[in-house]
Structure 1
Amino acid sequence: MQIAILAHEKFPGRAKTALGVLRYADYDVEAVLDRDSAGDRVVDHVPDVQDAPIVAGMDDVEDVDALLIGIAPIGGGFDESWREDVRTALERGCDVISGLHYFLEDDEEFAVLAEENDCELWDVRNPSEDLTVADGVAGDVDAEVILTVGTDCSVGKMTVSMELARDAREAGYDAAVIPTGQTGIMIEGWGNPIDRVVSDFTAGAVEEMILEKGDEHDYLFVEGQGSIVHPAYSAVTCGILHGSMADQLVLCHDAGREAIHGYEEFELPSLPSYVDLYEDLAEPVADATVTAGALNTSDLADDAAARDTVEEYADAIDAPAADVIRFGTDDLLEALLE
């Protein structure tokens, strides 16, 4: 499928959905929409993903099958400055894929245009209506369940899950991803949007996916969400932890981050304390251990400094660690798949 990605004024720093799709999805990306960087190319900003021209709007995009909204703002709202591009896409007969909490199918203008032009509005965060509470049986599957957890939101849990699963498969292991967020669902083409599920059904929605794939694969890499200490997102983090009944945890962190993203009045706890927090919270339902750590060092320009920071992180959490984009996944996979 040929797509354009909408990432206005946020690419690449605050367009993690766009980056995830560019890095891992099977889509052919024909253009990225960003008014601030029009005239550049993706590779001018991010060297290790699919390249494409950056343009000012849909009027500058040649024929594509769909427009994908590649921004995941806090709260998941729709920015009215995007309306013209979405309208243009629908008028041209393009589907629109959105991971927002604002459902495009409930927008009267978009719904009418989609029907008139035979387009699909895919609201990725719209959960199934038949979800239930968990039965506490995810631990019965044959697969080893590995969950990425975070010191905060936006520290790379989805990226780490995708990198580990991909490299495990390339090494000959039978591995799959359990997608729990909008970007993972867009990449994998299926999944439950856990942060949109009724709280009582959160663990059940994760368990349902574990049961669906758990006897088909040897390893399941579960995409984590939020952080157990996050004042807004801790509930979904706990639901995934208990619903997955994970065997192993990969603790993800952003180098240099000291306060909770979007809630900077709250300082992050010490790194070692996260190991106890996650393992103690999981313990009543699963004997999960923090087996490895993943550190995002993208803000460090020097590789030597990045390696030193990774080593310090590994020492702090007493587990092997790596920046999976910068230095690869070999050390982590050796610890997780031994």
Structure 2
Amino acid sequence: MRLAVLAHGKFPDGAKTAVGLLRYSDHDVVAVLDRDLAADGERRVSEFLPDVQDAPVVAGIDDVPDIDAFVVGIAPIGGGFDETWRDDVAGALERGCDVWAGLHYFLSEDEGFAALAEEHDCELWDVRDPPEDLTVAEGVAGDLDATVVTTVGTDCSVGKMTATLELLEAARDAGLNAGFVPTGQTGIMIEGWGIPIDRTISDFTAGAVERMLVERAEEYDYLFVEGQGSIVHPAYSAVTCGILHGSMPDHLVLCHEAGREVVHGYEAFDLLPADEAAALYESLAAPVHPASVVGGAVNTSHLDDGAARAALSDFGDAIDAPAVDPVRFDASDLVEAIR
């Protein structure tokens, strides 16, 4: 499938969905929309992200070649819709393209977009719209015949989805029968299935994670669960706890961005030191299903190689487990720790 991805003013660092699709999706991304970058002349994704599929960076929908679907590749805090995106979304629908969005603002409930979708026979896929038949957890994930690994974080936006997908690839390369359990909008777009955990009723969060694990446990020997938020995040801690208790993991991988010391978007709150964060996750998991932090996944993309290796060494020492940057280097050490 051919996609164009909207990332106005945010590419690449503030467009997690766009970057995730470029790096991990089997779809062909033929254009990224960022009017700010395009104003500087001809630009390409490879100028900013050399290790993903390449595409031109363009100003708007009129500069996009033929596509099958148009993706809102930004998920801002709160999940709102920016009205400056309207012309591009409407233009895509007028061209007969499906539109995918991982917002809390549902495009299907927007009268203008819904009318255009009906007129041009398009689908509006609101990825954060969960199933209606969710219920509470039964507490059975720990009894499944599969090893469950859940990524957790020192903060939100530290690379939990990326770490989970890199672990999945490394596990498969090592010959393990491994599957991915997507819990957020980007992972769902990449995999084509999943439940958006941050949109579920709070009572049903653990049950939604459990349901996905039960569905996949017969197919895979190892299941890698994408974490969300952080247990110390003042806004997102609830979804983190729900995933942790719903997945009842055997192992945890602690994710972090090197050098980050305060909560993203809530800078008045300090992050816990790595050792305290690891201990907190283990103690929170223990009453439901004991799990240990078997490794760390650290985003070192803003550091040179020497500083990156030093940061990984320090983080590994702090949590007393191997620490890697799975994108920059590889995740094989973590896979071995999990085995």
**Alignment of structure 1 residues 48-127 onto 2, 5 Å:** 48-127=51-130
Corresponding residue for residue 336 of structure 1: 338
* Alignment equivalent of 1:247, drawn from 233, 247, 250: 250
Deviation per CA, 1:159-216, whole angstroms, max 9, x where unpaired? Answer: 0000010121122110000000000000000000000000000000000001000121
Aligned CA-pair RMSD: 0.6
Corresponding residue for residue 12 of structure 1: 12
Q: CA deviation at 1:330?
A: 1.3
TM-score for the superposition, normalised by structure 2:
0.98
Moved over 6 A (4+): none
Q: Percent of aligned positions with the same letter in both sequences?
A: 68
Taking the aligned partners of 2:67 and 2:278, their CA distance within structure 1 comes to 46
TM-score for the superposition, normalised by structure 1:
0.99
Corresponding residue for residue 288 of structure 2: 285
Query: Alignment partner of 1:333: what SS?
Result: helix
Taking the aligned partners of 1:248 and 1:54, their CA distance within structure 2 comes to 40
Corresponding residue for residue 143 of structure 2: 140
Deviation per CA, 1:126-167, whole angstroms, max 9, x where unpaired? Answer: 000000000000111111000000000000000000001012
The answer as to whether partners of 2:180 and 2:226 remain within 8 angstroms in 1 is yes
Corresponding residue for residue 161 of structure 2: 158
Is 1:268 aligned to 2:267, yes or no? no
Taking the aligned partners of 1:182 and 1:332, their CA distance within structure 2 comes to 25
Taking the aligned partners of 1:310 and 1:275, their CA distance within structure 2 comes to 15
Taking the aligned partners of 2:219 and 2:230, their CA distance within structure 1 comes to 29
* Alignment equivalent of 2:240, drawn from 237, 242, 256: 237
Taking the aligned partners of 1:189 and 1:270, their CA distance within structure 2 comes to 36
The answer as to whether partners of 2:183 and 2:196 remain within 8 angstroms in 1 is yes
**Alignment of structure 1 residues 173-212 onto 2, 5 Å:** 173-212=176-215
Is 1:315 aligned to 2:281, yes or no? no
Corresponding residue for residue 2 of structure 2: 2
Query: Alignment partner of 1:165: what SS?
Result: helix
Corresponding residue for residue 259 of structure 1: 262
Corresponding residue for residue 29 of structure 1: 29
For structure 1, which runs of at least 5 residues remain unmatched after alignment?
none
Taking the aligned partners of 1:255 and 1:184, their CA distance within structure 2 comes to 23
Taking the aligned partners of 2:30 and 2:223, their CA distance within structure 1 comes to 32
Taking the aligned partners of 1:322 and 1:198, their CA distance within structure 2 comes to 35
Query: Alignment partner of 1:327: what SS?
Result: coil
Q: CA deviation at 1:299?
A: 1.3
* Corresponding residue pairs, total: 336
The answer as to whether partners of 2:171 and 2:332 remain within 8 angstroms in 1 is no
**Alignment of structure 1 residues 32-51 onto 2, 5 Å:** 32-38=32-38, 39-51=42-54
| Amino acid corresponding to residue 122 of structure 2 in structure 1 | C
The 10-residue stretch of structure 1 (324-333 or 176-185) with the greater mean CA deviation from structure 2: 324-333
| Amino acid corresponding to residue 46 of structure 1 in structure 2 | L
Taking the aligned partners of 1:295 and 1:69, their CA distance within structure 2 comes to 27
